[in-house]
Structures are given as structure tokens and as C-alpha cells.
């Protein structure tokens, strides 16, 4: 067996598992539930993974690794602090609009891991948070603004991450348009008279 | 037995149950866990409540009833659309800073109720959402702004509700100061040069 099909199959297992964890929660889910959901035998599933905590770890680890790498790449093309922050927002919303189950799992099961696995994930989360905190801080400097970058970064993450509670990416408002609205609101506020996205309709 | 001590005891049971549900999740929690946490016998607990779904319902129902009544009262003192929205934000943040466990339960267990109980809670949630949507819409009108009030209301709820993931009400930033920062950010944006709260420090 080469590693490519193994990895591909593992990716499918992780995607299905994220859906089950999102719907049912991590603790009540059994390996038997996951065997049913993936259409694999229990033995087949254990060939890929030692248990459900490792699945939860891999879902979170791959999600953060990818969103961090994607954000770094998106931001690197920015031409100003404002532009870099807008690119971060667009990337984050687009990424999690494609990974709504993972987003719910990252939020609801943040404390379901233990020991080294939990420490690993928290280190990744910290890296991603610091990336956004740096970007908001740069925007403030450019505009001689004086918000609290710590609160500002969490406010923006809240705005964006809450979408798993209400947003349907397949509905009338596509992720790019949602991201633009968030960017306008966050950068210029509800009272800004004419957001450049207002004409996009929807 | 008069109804006052019954209600008081029930309030204590609901507060303790919210903490257990927040820490452990609704589904894995048993009535036996709740008996241990409240220091009551199982029979004693069943005297107050027919089962754990009714507890989850009462936690959500009382929380929404109170936050709606409190918000209506706070907003009624507002002197302008901006002032009314700021009062809503201050009330919401102050209320949930005192009810962080309930906030987590409202978010994580939104779909753990069924049937009429779920419909009841969703109707209350809708009422509260519409209150905020009306307020954001009024602010936009006053400023001749053209955001999407639906997205704006969810963005603001996200910003405020996410605090259960990171904020410690007993830490250096008191809820009133946090609420002012959210209000400034949401109304005027990260790029606004001199938010009136910047001088509050912290």
C-alpha cells in the first residue's frame, strides 16, 4: 500500500467524523457510530486510527495547519495593512464556509482533548490568533486608531466564527459577499455612510 | 410549602445544572450527575423537575425571557438610535458576563431540545434577534448607511457571544469596559481614529 491512498482515505474518514462530531458531539459518539457513518468495519477503521480522540485531534490539527498556511499565503499578497486584514477575513470566511462542521467541532470540542494533544492544538490556535492580532494592530497604527488589539481580534473572530450558528453557504449570500460585509463592518463600522459593498445587493 | 422557596430552590438547581451542562454537555449528563452537583437526592430532584430536558428548557427559557425584558427596559431609556444600540450592547454583555455557563449552554445545546420546547425557545430567540435587527436598522437609517441589517445583527451577536470562549469577567477588563469597546468597534470600526473609550485604558 502506498501512502497516497491511505492519506486520501484518512481525509474522507476525518471529513465524515467531523460531521458526526458536529451533529452528535464528541463524547456521546462511539467508534461504532463512526464505523456506520464511514461505511467501514470497526477493524478497518482501527487500521487508520487508534481511537476517537486521535480523530478529534487530527480534525483540529489539520484544520488549523491549513487555515494558518492559507491565511499566510493570502496575507502575503496584501499591499497595505487594510488590504492584508481584508484578505485574512476573506480567507477565513471562505475556508470555514467550506468547513462548517469542522468549525463547530473546533468551537464545541475545544476542551475535549487532553494532555499533549490539547497543548499542540492550543499552540496552533495561539499562532493563528497572534496572526490576526498583528494584522488588526497594523491597521490601527495606519489609521492612528486606539482600540484594544486583543479585544478587536477576538471581536472579529467572534463575528466570523458565529456563522456556524446561522449561515448557509449554499444560500443566497455567497461566502465572498459575506466576507466583504464583515470586512466593511469591522473596518469602518455600522455608521459608515457608504460601504463599498452596499451596491453588491443580496 | 409556599411557592417562593420552591422557586428559589429551582433557581439554584437551574444555575448549578447550567454549570454542569456547560462543562460536560447536555447529552452525557445524567440526573444522577445533577443530583450529585446540587447535593440533592434523586427523589428530591424529581420533586422539582420531571427530567433533564425540562431543566435544559427552563435554563434557556428563563435566560431569554430575562435578557429580552432587560434589553427592552435598557433600550427604552435611549435618547437616539445610536444610544439605544449602545444600551442594548451594554445590557447583553453585562447580562451574559454574569451568565457565562448559560451562554455556553444556549449556544452548544441550541438543538438538544425537541418538539414544542424547541419551538418555544426558537420563538424567543427570534424575538430577541428581531429586537437587535431593528436597532441596527435604525442606526443605519440615522447615518444614511447601507449595510445588511440581517448580517449586521448576526455579526454583533457573534462578537458578543463569542466571549464565553475567551473572556474572564473577573479579570482586568470589567464587562462595562468590554461592552464599550464592542460598541465602539461595531458602530465606528477598527479604523476610526479616536474611539471615546480609548482613554479608559486597561
- Nearest Cα neighbor of B120 from B63, B164, B74, B160 is B63
What's the gap in Å between the CA of A194 and the closest CA on chain B? 6
Confidence of residue A85 (pLDDT cuts 50, 70, 90): very high
What's the gap in Å between the CA of B91 and the closest CA on chain A? 17
Residue pair A78/A84 in contact by the 8 Å Cβ criterion: yes
Average confidence (pLDDT) over A65-74: 98
Q: Which three three-digit cell numbers place residue B77?
A: 431609556
Q: Return mean pLDDT, chain A.
A: 92
Torsion on CA atoms A9, A11, A15, A16, rounded to nearest 10: 20
3-state SS class at A75 = helix
CA A126 – CA A133 distance, rounded (Å): 10
pTM of the model: 0.91
CA distances to A20, A23, B27, B148 from A34, rounded to whole Å, are 7, 12, 18, 40
Which residues, at least 6 apart from A114, have a Cβ–Cβ distance to it below 8 Å? Answer: A53
Confidence of residue B197 (pLDDT cuts 50, 70, 90): very low
CA B131 – CA B67 distance, rounded (Å): 11
Residue pair A45/A35 in contact by the 8 Å Cβ criterion: yes
Closest chain A residue to B135, measured at CA: A190
User: B162 touching A, CB under 8 A?
Assistant: yes
Confidence of residue B96 (pLDDT cuts 50, 70, 90): very high
Residue pair A39/A13 in contact by the 8 Å Cβ criterion: no
Q: Which three three-digit cell numbers place residue B195?
A: 474611539
Confidence of residue A3 (pLDDT cuts 50, 70, 90): low
Q: Count how many residues are written for chain A.
A: 202
What's the gap in Å between the CA of A5 and the closest CA on chain B? 35
Burial per residue of B60-74, b for 16 or more beta-carbon CB atoms within 10 angstroms, e otherwise? bbbbbeebeeebeeb
CA B168 – CA B152 distance, rounded (Å): 25
Q: Residue B8, Cβ neighbours under 10 Å: how many?
A: 10
CA distances to A159, B7, B12, B116, B169 from B20, rounded to whole Å, are 27, 20, 13, 24, 19
User: B166 touching A, CB under 8 A?
Assistant: yes
Give ipTM to 2 decimals: 0.90
Angle, nearest 10°, between helix axes A149-161 and A115-142?
Answer: 110
User: B140 touching A, CB under 8 A?
Assistant: yes
Q: Which three three-digit cell numbers place residue B158?
A: 457573534
CA distances to A54, A123, B33, B59, B162 from B104, rounded to whole Å, are 25, 23, 19, 11, 9
A56 pLDDT exceeds 80?
yes
Average confidence (pLDDT) over B110-126: 95
User: B133 touching A, CB under 8 A?
Assistant: no
Chain B residues close to A178, C-beta within 8 Å: 151
CA A106 – CA B61 distance, rounded (Å): 27
Residue identified by cell 447550567 is B18
Give the model confidence (pLDDT) of B62-92 as tens digits: 999 999 999 999 999 999 999 999 999 999 9
Give the model confidence (pLDDT) of B22-64 as tens digits: 998 898 899 999 999 999 999 999 999 999 999 999 999 999 9
Closest chain A residue to B201, measured at CA: A148
Residue identified by cell 438547581 is B13
User: B143 touching A, CB under 8 A?
Assistant: yes
CA distances to A12, A47, A157, B186, B199 from A141, rounded to whole Å, are 44, 52, 20, 18, 16
Average confidence (pLDDT) over A76-91: 97
A201 pLDDT exceeds 80?
no
User: B174 touching A, CB under 8 A?
Assistant: no
Report pLDDT for B201: 38
Average confidence (pLDDT) over A167-196: 91
Structural domains of chain A sorted by starting position, each given as residue range(s) with its CATH number in brackets: 52-190 (1.10.357.10)
Amino acid at each position: 500500500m502506498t501512502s497516497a491512498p491511505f492519506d486520501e482515505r484518512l481525509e474522507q474518514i476525518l471529513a465524515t467524523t467531523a460531521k458526526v462530531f458536529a451533529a452528535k458531539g464528541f463524547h456521546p459518539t462511539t467508534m461504532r457510530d463512526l464505523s456506520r457513518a464511514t461505511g467501514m468495519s470497526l477493524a478497518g477503521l482501527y487500521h487508520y486510527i487508534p481511537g476517537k480522540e486521535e480523530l478529534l485531534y487530527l480534525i483540529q490539527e489539520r484544520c488549523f495547519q491549513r487555515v494558518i498556511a492559507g491565511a499566510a499565503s493570502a496575507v502575503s499578497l496584501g499591499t497595505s495593512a487594510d488590504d492584508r486584514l481584508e484578505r485574512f477575513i476573506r480567507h477565513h470566511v471562505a475556508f470555514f464556509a467550506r468547513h462548517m462542521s469542522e468549525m463547530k467541532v473546533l468551537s464545541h470540542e475545544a476542551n475535549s482533548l487532553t494532555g499533549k494533544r490539547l497543548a499542540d492544538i492550543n499552540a496552533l490556535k495561539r499562532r493563528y490568533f497572534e496572526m490576526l492580532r498583528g494584522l488588526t494592530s497594523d491597521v490601527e497604527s495606519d489609521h492612528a486608531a486606539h482600540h484594544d488589539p486583543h479585544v478587536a481580534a477576538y471581536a472579529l473572530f467572534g463575528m466570523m466564527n458565529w456563522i456556524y450558528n446561522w449561515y448557509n453557504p449554499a444560500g443566497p449570500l455567497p461566502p465572498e459577499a459575506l466576507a466583504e460585509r464583515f470586512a466593511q463592518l469591522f473596518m469602518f463600522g455600522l455608521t459608515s455612510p457608504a460601504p463599498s459593498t452596499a451596491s453588491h445587493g443580496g
